Amino acid sequence: MKEKIAIIGAGNMAMAIVEGLLSQSVVDLSQLVLTRKSLQKVHTFSGKRVVMIRDNKKAVASSDIIILAIKPQQMAEVLEEIKGEVGKKTHVVRVMPNLCAKIGESLSCWTKNKAVTKKEETLAKKILGAIGQEVFFGDEYMIDDMTAIFGSGPAYVFFLTEMLEDAAIKLGLTSILARKLAKQTVVGSALLLKSTSEHPASLRAAVTSYKGITHAAFEVFTKEKLTETFFKGIQAGKKRARELRLK
């Protein structure tokens, strides 16, 4: 890519996107400018400092592609700030990535407005492909729903890892060993899941011998309605995503 890219809001997700783009050699540092209200934090990539400024308008004016990596609550304010630097018929791609972009393993759900051309679609796929896998949705409302599952999904996996670690500590392991074993359990399971076409339920069944240890644990999970509780959380996230949607 030769285009210059402005990334507005240099937080965790922006840094993950930058690291993905650079590691895949889609762009180099000279093509990037990031904005951040506070410049106290210095970021370096491959030993080089990334250009970071406070002025959103200046960043947008000098760039071909604008990535708004900001919270939904901030969107109206930022759009008002930069509207003089973009055209009325702006070509917009809306993306819901996740934090796994940092290692090139994001799942990015995306959609577009009618102004986006085929060439721009290809460009969007190239950018998203650099940070993981991408899935297009024709219905923008589906992005809100999927955010509650796949955008927030890494947090749920991290929470499961926390629970495994905490349980191991309660059963007598040191915190260092508990963390090591919890992480490897989750990572190993994820790699196994990725390597096979088997349904997750089939893999779970392979671990769950009748009247065995895992079976005993799942009897409690079922009794306590863990599945229903998890889905209630997803629904709460979906509701919040709809509330934050720009009107």
Task: Count how many domains the chain has.
Answer: 2
Per-residue pLDDT band at 166 (split at 50, 70, 90): very high
Instruction: Answer yes or no: are the C-beta atoms of 130 and 21 closer than 8 Å.
Output: yes
Q: Give residue 159's pLDDT.
A: 98
**Residue 46: count of CB within 10 angstroms of its CB:** 8
pTM confidence score? 0.85
Instruction: Answer yes or no: are the C-beta atoms of 36 and 9 closer than 8 Å.
Output: yes
Q: Are 80 and 136 contained in the same domain?
A: yes
Q: Are 166 and 143 contained in the same domain?
A: no
Write the DSSP string, 59-91: HHHT-SEEEE-S-HHHHHHHHHHHGGGS-SS--
With 70 as the cut, is the pLDDT of residue 42 above it? Answer: no
Q: Are 107 and 71 contained in the same domain?
A: yes
With 90 as the cut, is the pLDDT of residue 244 above it? Answer: no
CATH of the domain at 110: 3.40.50.720
Average pLDDT, the chain: 91
Q: Are 124 and 52 contained in the same domain?
A: yes
- Residue 109, φ and ψ in degrees, nearest 5: -90, 135
Q: Are 133 and 202 contained in the same domain?
A: no
Q: Give residue 73's pLDDT.
A: 83
